[in-house]
Each structure stands twice: as structure tokens, then as C-alpha cells.
Amino acid sequence: MTTINFDSLVVGKSIAVDVEGKPVCVARVGDEVFAVSNICSHAYAELTDGEVKGFTIECWLHGADFDLRTGKALTLPATEPLETFSVVRQGNFVTIGQAKKEM
Ligand code: FES
């Protein structure tokens, strides 16, 4: 588990955190927070270097879009989903926990 400050998250931006050795991309959309693998499922690129657009994040390397809510690959060249992680918010604390789905 990793806990971060909700106030440190900027709407429409993502940050990289480590959750038990796994690189995780945490993104804030409005008052909601989502956590997905920070490594693109297409090749090796960190998604935190990409752009958050609504509930999606675009990989900067080849342009695949992923749904932050489900990890689903929305556009080619990615076809495999991202691993997603549990997010629990209590006041100003956001805890990123276990992976919801193993790849
Ligand atoms: S590495 Fe992300 S789309 Fe290719």
C-alpha cells in the first residue's frame, strides 16, 4: 500500500508512485482518483509522461489511449489492458492498494 495526499494531485495530471515494487500511475479526474500500471501494455513507456484527457490517458510513445477506470486499451496499437489498483480515499489521504487484476 502507498498513501499520498489528495491535495498533491492536480486535476488532469498523473504522478508515478511505487506500490510494493510495482510502478503505478495515479491520476486525478475531478474529485476521483484512479491507479493503473505505469508501464504501457504495448511496449515500454511510462504513462505518467502521457496526457490525461477526461477518463483516459494517452501513451506518449505510440499514442494508445487507456481507460483510467478499467485499464482497458481503447485505441491501437495497444490491445492488452493495464493492471488496475484499488484506490481508497479518506479525507485528504488516498491509499493505493492491491492490484485488482493480474495480467
Ligand atoms: S508504448 Fe505505449 S502505445 Fe506503444
Q: What is the pLDDT of residue 98?
A: 87
- The pTM is what? 0.94
Q: Is 45 in the pocket of ligand 1 (CB under 6 A)?
A: yes
Domains in the chain (CATH in brackets) are: 2-99 (2.102.10.10)
CA angle 60, 65, 70 (to 5 degrees): 130
Q: Is 62 in the pocket of ligand 1 (CB under 6 A)?
A: yes
Q: Which atom of ligand 1 is nearest to the CA of 64?
A: 3
Q: Is 74 in the pocket of ligand 1 (CB under 6 A)?
A: no
Average pLDDT (30-46) is: 97
- Using a 10 angstrom Cβ sphere, with 0-12 exposed, 13-18 middle and 19 or more buried, the burial of residue 103 is exposed
- Percentage of the chain with pLDDT > 70? 97
